[in-house]
Every structure is written in structure tokens, then in C-alpha cells.
Amino acid sequence: MNGYCFPDGVSASNSSARQPAAEQRRLTKKDVLFSANTPFTGVFAIRRGSSKTSVTADNGNTQIVRIDLGGDMLGLEGFAAGIHTTTVVALENSTFCFLPYDRLMHVAQQRPALREKLLGVMTGTLVYHQRAAYALASTNAEQRVAGFLIVTSERLAERGYPGPDFVLNVTRQEIGSLLGLTLETVSRCLSGFEERQLIHVRGRHVELLNQIALRKLVVQVV
């Protein structure tokens, strides 16, 4: 993670270009960054920490749709809707940058690299949700849990953390919500992986012992 509010890969020659009137917001665990149906005035980026993004159906049921890590941009759906359609909650003490829409668009016009990066982030978010929908429709419980562990490891490694050895800031119930599984099924899958010496679990600390075997369980699209 580069420590700036803009996505990785966007270079700038001065601090005003790197952080266009960005406002830092520090949240503690369980604090709400923004809620569904609130006005869209800009996008957020995680500078430090992590969060969960969820949607609420008309019947009141809430489902987690994404675990957000440092460098991720949040609230992008508001570009089209004019309001936030998701709710984001901090999973730990975290720092977010708020990028006002008008200033972000002004800087994007001046910096083609930033504009292209933003489009890339939006496209990547769409692809992510398409793959997640496919996985829920076409994979079994073990494949989903294995895919979650592999993807989490890869995402953390991209941010400079030791990928195969990490701490989960989400509960097993939250993992189940993300994957469309019950708490009991998630626990059963993790216990099964540990019995087969694919992983080692200590509380929320997870170590991937046999990534090759885990990857064999995962459908390529995940």
C-alpha cells in the first residue's frame, strides 16, 4: 500500500496532486463509514485497516458482499446511482480518505493516468462481483472456503504482508455471509482443512500449510 488516497500506480509530482483535498477519517471497529441510501458526494479509499461492505435486501436480510483491505476504493457504485447502495463498516481501527467527487473529477481530467486507473478500479470491482456470483452458483462449500483463503492470502501479499500467514479480522459468521454459507458449514470446512493439514488455525490466525492442495479445490474463476 502506498499510503496515499489514490489507487496504487498513480504517480504525482506534488502532494496536492496526490491528495486532492482529501479528508482523512479515522474509525474504530464497528464504526459505520457510510450507509446505503445516503447521498453520494465522493469516494473513499482505505489508507490503513480493513472494512466490510454489505447490502440489505427488502426483507431486511443483510449480506456481506466484500471484505475491503488497504488500497481498496469504496462507494464507487454511487457514480451511477447518486446514492450509496451499500453499507461499509470498519473491521478494526482504520483510516479512510474521502475524495470529493468534483475535486476528484477535476484532477482526473488533468491527469490521464489517474482517470485510467479509476476506470480500471471500477472495471475490477465489476469483475470481482461477477466472479463472486459465479462462485456462489457453481461451487460447493469447500471450494468457496478454500477460494476465500487463497484470495485473502493473495490480496494481503499484494499489500506487503506475509500472504500464507495472516489474521482474519472477520468472524466465521461473517465469512459465511460473504460466501453464502452457515456458520456451522464454515467451521466444518476449516476443521476439515486442518485435519488434512492444509491449514493451521489459532483463533483468527490462519496459516496456509499446503497452498497447492487448496488451489486444486478452487474453481479457476474464483
Q: How would you write 112-126 as a 3-class SS string?
A: HHHHHHHHHHHHHHH
For 36-72, the pLDDT digits (tens) are 999 999 989 898 999 999 999 888 889 999 999 988 8
**Among the listed ranges 98-112, 163-177, 193-207, which one has the minimum average pLDDT value?**
98-112
- Residue 43 and residue 78 in contact, taking contact as beta carbons nearer than 8 Å: yes
Looking at residue 200, its pLDDT comes to: 97
**Among the listed ranges 6-15, 32-41, 184-193, which one has the minimum average pLDDT value?**
6-15
Residue 206's Cβ-side half-sphere holds a number of Cα atoms within 13 Å equal to 26
Q: Residue 49 phi/psi, 5° resolution?
A: 105, -155
Going from the N-terminus, what domains does the chain have, and what CATH number goes with each?
15-129 (2.60.120.10), 139-217 (1.10.10.10)
pLDDT band, very low/low/confident/very high, at 172 (cuts 50, 70, 90): very high
Q: What average pLDDT score do residues 67-92 get?
A: 91
Looking at residue 222, its pLDDT comes to: 41
Higher pLDDT, 61 or 108: 61
Q: What average pLDDT score do residues 182-194 get?
A: 97
Q: What average pLDDT score do residues 192-198 get?
A: 97
- Residue 42 and residue 76 in contact, taking contact as beta carbons nearer than 8 Å: no
Mean pLDDT for all residues in the chain: 84
pTM reported for the whole predicted model? 0.83
Instruction: Determine the 3-state secondary structure of 109 from DSSP.
Output: helix
